[in-house]
Amino acid sequence: MDANSQGAAELLEALMRTAARFSEMGRSVSRDFFPHVRVEPVSDLAGPAVRLGAALALPGHDLVFETAVAVGEETFGVRGGLVLDGEEEILVLPAFETADAVACAAMLDRYVDELTTPARWHVQRLLESCEADS
């Protein structure tokens, strides 16, 4: 297998890992905060870009954890973020661009860590604010 094929294989594995990690995070948070949190996967393929993540529905709020990988002619781009109620960007990870598929896969893994690790904290904070408003 040449270097380009190896890089493509590693990037594909990272995309599959990303989908699995967001799915597990969503199930876990939904289970921990049942019945107040519902989860739906975010999974879109639009031309040369793929979006992966999880959308959490809470009483009065929606949280969307999302990564995106775009493939250009000679580059790969990665971005990620957390959006509250479709408007407020709680976390915006810096756009990353590289010509190396392996570096792209590594950055995607890092962005998934940065988004999923504080997920419970964000949900707990929103649920507590809903209770305080009641």
Per-residue pLDDT tens over the stretch 29-77: 999 999 999 999 999 988 889 999 999 999 989 999 999 999 988 899 9
Answer whether 65's CB lies under 8 Å from 116's CB.
yes
Return the percentage of the chain with pLDDT > 90, whole number.
79
> Strand 76-84 and strand 49-58: pairing?
unpaired
> Strand 38-46 and strand 49-58: pairing?
antiparallel
